[in-house]
Amino acid sequence: MSARKSIGIDKYKDFPEWYHSVLKEAGIIDIRYPVKGMNVWMPYGLKALRLTQRILMDLLEETGHQEAYFPTMVPESVFSREKDFLKGFGGETFVVEGTVTRKFNERLFVRPTSETVMYYMWNMWIKGRKDLPLKMYQVVNVFRYETKMTHPILRVREIMGFIEAHTAHATMEEAEKQISEAIAIYKEFFNRLQLPYFIVKTPPWDTFAGAEYNYDFITVMPDGKGLELGSVINLGQKFAKAFEIKYMDTDGVEKHVYQTCYGVSERVLGAVIGIHGDETGLFFPPDIAPIQVVIVPVMKPGENQVLEYAFKVSNILKAHGVRVFVDTDQEHTPGWKYYYWEMKGVPTRIEVGRKELDASTVTIARRDKREKHVVKLEEAVDLLRKIWSEINEYLRSRALEHLARKTVFLPEHPEDKGFDGLVIAPWDGSRECAEELEKETGKNVLGEITESPLNLPPPSQYTACGKAKADRYALLGVTY
Amino acid sequence: MSARKSIGIDKYKDFPEWYHSVLKEAGIIDIRYPVKGMNVWMPYGLKALRLTQRILMDLLEETGHQEAYFPTMVPESVFSREKDFLKGFGGETFVVEGTVTRKFNERLFVRPTSETVMYYMWNMWIKGRKDLPLKMYQVVNVFRYETKMTHPILRVREIMGFIEAHTAHATMEEAEKQISEAIAIYKEFFNRLQLPYFIVKTPPWDTFAGAEYNYDFITVMPDGKGLELGSVINLGQKFAKAFEIKYMDTDGVEKHVYQTCYGVSERVLGAVIGIHGDETGLFFPPDIAPIQVVIVPVMKPGENQVLEYAFKVSNILKAHGVRVFVDTDQEHTPGWKYYYWEMKGVPTRIEVGRKELDASTVTIARRDKREKHVVKLEEAVDLLRKIWSEINEYLRSRALEHLARKTVFLPEHPEDKGFDGLVIAPWDGSRECAEELEKETGKNVLGEITESPLNLPPPSQYTACGKAKADRYALLGVTY
């Protein structure tokens, strides 16, 4: 353990330095693995990720998605069936040609995402209307040889925690309803993590390979770069036709199904880290904090009753389902520990000493303000839950401030075209205007904003690129 | 859904046919995926696997193992550092040479197991005695191009649920203690699944690549083939030397660590399926049954009160943490459903009809005997738990009978050398005698039995291969 107690770097001034320090000091990942873009997840970071994944998996289960597992490798011939997909993903797809001692007859492609892997099987599974809708998800590692610069967690070559959902439907209307459900699920998920986001519909010229259209959830990191948190894709019938996924309709006619898919990766935890963290270090929302409460005994050497009391408190909290850790380490002072656990993002701390023991109380400190609360032991759990809910509010509003700070509304700040963040510009949906905006701002049109965390006036009062009347807003940014 | 109600095949007469039927009809996996040795896990099968994995993960967590995640691909240069390991695994290791459009400077090997992946990092993590012991595990997919014939779940080329634990210690004694802990964990795990096993110490000439020695847990399938359920390996200092994993001891001298590793895969669920199943179909131990209780409403069309009552019962059970499903399907008769869910291995069934509704009772049927129990609704949960515990006893004793039936003790049945199962033979540990036994039986020596589910007399009363006095027993078998 280094002597440094808190990160002590302003994330807005030097995000790469801040981010790398937090990942390392808080024990999230180790970036020293000898393959570029592949990271080692440390136990503390992985626990936060597992808790994060659990939230989404529960939301998927509650809405009738069933977990399945499809293989990692797909024969080249199967991978190549949908031509747009092959074109879009081929260049970044890892290829296995054999083992150390043997060459295969057919090359195996390592999944960059699982459409082709799954839909080969769906061809056999879907026969009639009663097999629809089919709603599945899996939690898997996928591999993409990114040519963009890699960034720990945010842009990697092994995505180790991809939660991909896939659905099939009898009609386009049902598929569109599914798109709405998926958006609602993701909204709930990101809201639980207190992450603010724009939802954009990507322009036709930048749509997911093999799709009709897709919606992206976009947030912004402290360095101003946009980050795609999740993607919801209407595949239409493209894959259904490539893989001959058909059902016998009630009218006796065989029809191709309509499909959707949507995915989220460990990247969402990178967003949580970057957006909620501060100069002290990490700040986990209580719902995904591996340790929700750290208990620090404040005691003289050998004052064992205090230690026993600390474990008594711990056991009570555990019985209520609280994730708690008692820091019994003797090497460091309580003050050092306070900073250390704040740096690790633990949202609440309990201090117990002689005084608390004698009065059967605990002193609760919180990561969001310098306030401490002394309460009777039996009231501790209720107070913790109240504090966590306040902390969630605090994180939510701070994250929104962050997003506002890193987003510029172009009509009001026309001088800020080169702004280091996201840019909102009136738009008419045309490619010409999009290209003009991209040139002016040096950013990419990420899509048409369909939902904004910031209040925007009706676009009709502006012109798009000084020409036509605007009927929407474009979100522009440089993304990870 | 086929019209077939139960599997109707004697697993001892035609195991491959029985096994494939169960996997398909019960919705465990789909073997039609177009890469040999790679299977698709269906939701029902996967849920059973997740519940199974959870038991072992909890046991690992309780004993201080922390979950981490290490990348799937390892550079050739790192993979090749431990020469025995390279020799042992090289031939079956998948190799990535590049993407569709690009060749890499260095080939990437896809993990067949993660020693080299992890220990490269441990070199950086372990510095002093306070970093030891290090106890980690991960749940990952690993890839082995098996040249042996593949079998669904039992021998595959993508092992999709490998739970591998790895540890490092300051001394050989501590590593050996860890071996004992690992064995205790696995015993508890397999006992929870009601699986009987032999523990054998593998002979030096058949030890895990890069290891000092290892223990294997061996069970036997209905076709008489042995199945390795798990392996506990003492790596000694071989990898520590190859990867220079050293710590500064309290005496100021840098020393190499001692390491162990142990792993279990989804294969264990294949054993559960094969060993506990019967002519009716699957039979899940209640602890891992995706559905512990199926509720079948017995009602006339439109008798909605019965349906409401079924859901009332379901909600009560759910509130007690029971995994329950109400079969509201209208197409099939209750009788059809009884068989169907028994085939799927559901250990208990609740029937509710007009009579149960009026009397506020439920009728509980069980998968192990033709008995039914009528109880007051409020007593249902307690009775279910009691029945499950009896079912566990039943499965345990039936599995032991199965194992006894498929194992021959050679001194008592010298004519059964060619027996279709495991063979126990007196042994002196020598390679010569092992080879003689192998020749006589047409089987392989799997190791020296260190723990047996069957009572064995002291070996000293027998001679090994008719020559020296036996001081142990060899377990012989043909394995998956």
Exposure of B109 by Cβ count < 10 A (0-12 exposed, 13-18 middle, 19+ buried)?
A: buried
Q: Provide the CATH number for the domain around residue A245.
A: 3.30.930.10
Of A38, A98, A140, the CB nearest to B95: A98
The reply to whether residue B90 touches residue A74, judged by beta carbons under 8 angstroms, is no
A chain contacts of residue B31, beta-carbon cutoff 8 Å:
none
The reply to whether residue A33 touches residue B70, judged by beta carbons under 8 angstroms, is yes
The reply to whether residue B145 touches residue A102, judged by beta carbons under 8 angstroms, is yes
Q: Is pLDDT of B116 > 90?
A: yes
8-state DSSP, A55: H
| Residues B439-467: b if buried by 16+ CB within 10 A, e if exposed | ebbebbbbbbbeebbeeeeebeebebbee
Short-list A50, A189, A172, A68, CA closest to A118: A68
A chain contacts of residue B90, beta-carbon cutoff 8 Å:
99-101
- What's the pLDDT band for B4 if we cut at 50, 70, 90? low
Question: Same domain for B96 and B173?
Answer: yes
Q: Is pLDDT of A1 > 80?
A: no
Query: In this predicted model, what pLDDT tens digit does every residue of B272-290 receive, in sequence order?
Result: 999 999 999 999 999 999 9
Place of tokens 């970036």: A31
Task: Identify the bridge partners of residue B138 per DSSP, sorted by sequence position.
Answer: B164
- Number of neighbouring beta carbons within 10 Å of residue A100: 18
Question: Same domain for B264 and B301?
Answer: no
The reply to whether residue A34 touches residue B78, judged by beta carbons under 8 angstroms, is yes
Q: Is pLDDT of B1 > 80?
A: no
Of B34, B66, B78, the CB nearest to A120: B34
**To the nearest whole angstrom, how far is the Cα of B285 from the nearest Cα of chain A?**
21
Question: Same domain for A60 and A154?
Answer: yes
Query: In this predicted model, what pLDDT tens digit does every residue of A123-175 receive, in sequence order?
Result: 999 999 999 999 999 999 999 998 889 999 999 999 999 999 999 999 999 99
Q: What is the CA B94 to chain-centroid distance, rounded?
A: 24
Instruction: From B222, B245, B276, give the residue that closes a domain.
Output: B276
B chain contacts of residue A69, beta-carbon cutoff 8 Å:
40-41, 46, 160
Query: In this predicted model, what pLDDT tens digit does every residue of A54-69 receive, in sequence order?
Result: 999 999 999 999 999 9
**Number of folded domains that form chain B:** 3
Residue B228 carries which side chain, given as an amino acid letter?
A: E
Question: Same domain for A64 and A195?
Answer: yes
Domain holding A454, by residue range, is 409-477
Question: Same domain for B331 and B259?
Answer: no
Question: Same domain for A371 and A413?
Answer: no
**To the nearest whole angstrom, how far is the Cα of B43 from the nearest Cα of chain A?**
5
CA distances from A376 to A88, A267, A318, A349, B70 (A): 60, 40, 17, 15, 44
Question: Same domain for A244 and A338?
Answer: no
Q: What pLDDT, on a 0 to 100 scale, did the predictor assign at position B301?
A: 84
Nearest residue in chain B measured CA to CA from A106: B35
Of A69, A101, A140, the CB nearest to B90: A101
ipTM above 0.90, yes or no: yes
Residues 6+ apart with CB under 8 A from A283: A276, A277, A345, A347, A367, A395
Question: Same domain for A349 and A466?
Answer: no
Q: Provide the CATH number for the domain around residue B432.
A: 3.30.110
Using CA atoms, how far apart are residues A374 and A363, in angstroms rounded to an integer?
4
Using CA atoms, how far apart are residues A232 and A213, in angstroms rounded to an integer?
9
Question: Same domain for B172 and B120?
Answer: yes
8-state DSSP, B405: H
Q: Provide the CATH number for the domain around residue A304.
A: 3.40.50.800
Do B60 and B165 touch, CB atoms closer than 8 A?
yes
Residue B271 forms part of a structural domain: yes
Residue B394 forms part of a structural domain: no
Query: In this predicted model, what pLDDT tens digit does every residue of B126-180 receive, in sequence order?
Result: 999 999 999 999 999 999 998 889 999 999 999 999 999 999 999 999 999 999 9
The reply to whether residue A46 touches residue B33, judged by beta carbons under 8 angstroms, is no
Question: Same domain for A86 and A163?
Answer: yes
Residue B150 forms part of a structural domain: yes
CA distances from B39 to B28, B94, B371 (A): 10, 17, 37
Strand order in the sheet with B103-110: A73-75, A103-110, A94-99, B94-99, B103-110, B73-75
**To the nearest whole angstrom, how far is the Cα of B52 from the nearest Cα of chain A?**
15
Question: Same domain for B265 and B304?
Answer: no
Nearest residue in chain B measured CA to CA from A69: B41
B chain contacts of residue A98, beta-carbon cutoff 8 Å:
94-95
Q: Is pLDDT of B370 > 50?
A: yes
Q: Is pLDDT of A267 > 50?
A: yes
Short-list B198, B193, B169, B192, CA closest to B181: B169
Residue B447 forms part of a structural domain: yes
A448: tokens are 């048409």
Question: Same domain for A351 and A259?
Answer: no
Short-list A92, A89, A118, A94, CA closest to A108: A94
The reply to whether residue B92 touches residue A99, judged by beta carbons under 8 angstroms, is yes
Q: What pLDDT, on a 0 to 100 scale, did the predictor assign at position A220?
A: 98
Nearest residue in chain A measured CA to CA from B87: A100
Residue B283 forms part of a structural domain: no
Residue A3 forms part of a structural domain: no
Using CA atoms, how far apart are residues A218 and A374, in angstroms rounded to an integer?
41
pTM for this model (two decimals)? 0.96
Best mutation target among B95, B105, B243 (most A Cβ atoms within 10 Å) is B95
- What's the pLDDT band for A6 if we cut at 50, 70, 90? confident
The reply to whether residue B95 touches residue A99, judged by beta carbons under 8 angstroms, is yes
The reply to whether residue B96 touches residue A95, judged by beta carbons under 8 angstroms, is yes
The reply to whether residue B43 touches residue A30, judged by beta carbons under 8 angstroms, is no
Asked whether the CA dihedral A4, A10, A16, A22 is positive or negative, the reply is positive
Instruction: From A371, A386, A401, give the residue that closes a domain.
Output: A386
Residue A287 forms part of a structural domain: no
- What's the pLDDT band for B208 if we cut at 50, 70, 90? confident
The reply to whether residue A33 touches residue B120, judged by beta carbons under 8 angstroms, is yes
Residue B399 forms part of a structural domain: no
- What's the pLDDT band for A2 if we cut at 50, 70, 90? very low
B370: tokens are 């033709």
The reply to whether residue A74 touches residue B102, judged by beta carbons under 8 angstroms, is no
Which run of H or of E encompasses A84? helix A83-89
The reply to whether residue B33 touches residue A160, judged by beta carbons under 8 angstroms, is no
Which DSSP string do the residues of A269-284 spell out, in sequence order? HHHHHHHH-BTTBEE-
**To the nearest whole angstrom, how far is the Cα of A198 from the nearest Cα of chain B?**
31
- Number of neighbouring beta carbons within 10 Å of residue A183: 18
- What's the pLDDT band for A90 if we cut at 50, 70, 90? confident
Q: What is the mean pLDDT of residues A353-362?
A: 97
- Number of neighbouring beta carbons within 10 Å of residue B17: 13
Instruction: From B276, B306, B339, give the residue that closes a domain.
Output: B276
Q: Is pLDDT of B198 > 90?
A: yes
Query: In this predicted model, what pLDDT tens digit does every residue of A167-218 receive, in sequence order?
Result: 999 999 999 999 999 999 999 999 999 999 999 999 988 887 778 899 999 9
Average pLDDT over chain A, rounded to an integer: 96
Q: Is pLDDT of A479 > 70?
A: yes
